[in-house]
Structure 1
Amino acid sequence: MAVVDCSNMAEQPKNPHDAYFRHVMSEATAAAGEVRSVLPEAAAAHLDWDGMELQSCSFVPKELRSRYTDVLFRTRWDDRDAFVFMLIEHQSSSDDLMAFRMLEYMVAIWNRYLRHNQHVRRLPVVIPVVVHCDPRGHRWSAPTELGDLLDIDPGMRSALGDCLPRLRFLLDDLGAADAAALRARKLSVTAKVLFVSLKIGPGNSRLGHDLLPLEGELRVLIEDYPGEFDQVMAYLWSVGKTDVAGFAPLIDRLGPRAKEIVMTTAEKFRIEGRTEGRAEALLDQLGVKFGAVPDGIVERVRGAGAGRLRVWGARVLTAQTLDEVFAE
């Protein structure tokens, strides 16, 4: 099988929606189930689903990674190379230029392929999939066809005909499906929990009740997938509004191990929240004393632990420059 250059390594997304999506969809079985749910059956029959291999690449530019994350798999289409490219979009409004962005990413995949397979005279198929997950439940409203982005009148469109570029990406709009429909999909357990959590998690103050239909799947995660229920709870705690008491209906069903994980997650986020507060307070102090704080310092402060923040906070009282605050 030919290779694709993956020197542009994917970073772990900082947005909780993206981080959870990448964690689950980086597993081939989960990704295969999702793509098969949106791909026409006639096309799905030709792909080697068991041979999907994750590529450690990201084609989303750094400035857009707060809005999207992507995963790329290499596989075979009958006896030919093929790629499956998945991107999740979690904005509160659809990206009108998504079809153009997907074309850019596909061209980037082909360019990387050609750099490492210079003998080929044909390009591998790239199957583009966009998963739309609006935290407020809004449906996708932007074009999925590249041709629909072209600013031409019907007469010009007809005259140019096949000269116009054509591309349509596969769209999985979670806003158009309810939680019951997502539970009914033929997905891996981890993927099913992912999509339902993406659907019902943000802003939800009743997760202990609303997750009860997933009791069976969550029990499987606890018993057979070490660490996966922890991932689910970390995501739900990040985006939801349910406190420990609110998770009681679910904990009562799932037992002591679930309770332990919920309590551990709650404590972790309590500590992280306190550390985040310290970081923001320190940045306020730095701004008052030294003026505008450089982006590099802001990132350093927000990424620091509680101990380091205490040291820097004490230095602010006597330091004359930023360098004195952050001297090693």
Structure 2
Amino acid sequence: MARRVAAFKQQVKERHEQKAEFHPHDALFKLFLRQPDTARDFLAFHLPAPIHALCDMKTLKLESSSFIDDDLRESYSDVLWSVKTEQGPGYIYCLIEHQSTSNKLIAFRMMRYAIAAMQNHLDAGYKTLPMVVPLLFYHGIESPYPYSLCWLDCFADPKLARQLYASAFPLIDVTVMPDDEIMQHRRMALLELIQKHIRQRDLMGQVEQMACLLSSGYANDRQIKGLFNYILQTGDAVRFNDFIDSVAERSPKHKESLMTIAERLRQEGNNPKPCI
């Protein structure tokens, strides 16, 4: 126990020493980069030329970065500039790394900064995401800078990460999925079928499919109860009785439980319980 306490105190001491070391770097960095003319020169030399060409540097404006989480500031200081571009408002986020030992996940941290800036932009009332250009200013001991600044390289499998995050995300759109295909989806079929058709005025066209899926035995009693409660709450309540009666008649295995569910839901009337 004593060793753990001593180790913890040492960690706290080292952390305070690190923070004390950061302050001079932080102060000097911001002294220069918060001056518009200095920032313009900095960006003229270091911002990628195609991006610089899109920016109106006369509109460069220092912004608050107080929305950044405190834990992200532990080892870094930052300056955030807004700038008008040909595509609308944009931001240039410059980060200075104070640590003498480089962080191999810095690219992921920079993505977190950039996304936080995007969210702050949306919170201000804008309807589209802004371009946020993260820049890392490095003056550490190890030279040259040893790690990739592509955040996708932070993954154990960068190739797979690029396949996932450099293209559109997978979409399961049941609104365009054929019913015959849905019927093959085993334990998901009941959910997908009903949520595809729930906005139809009449669900009677799905009676045979529902009965078939119930007979497959993929859904448990709680799921079946929740399903019909959901239909009552969200679907066409006027024909709900006809629907559940028809499904029950075609599902001998579940007929008794379905009729019990139907009776309970009828008794609840217009105040059905949540589907849980």
TM-score, structure 1 as length reference? 0.41
Instruction: Report the structure number with the largest CA radius of gyration.
Output: 2
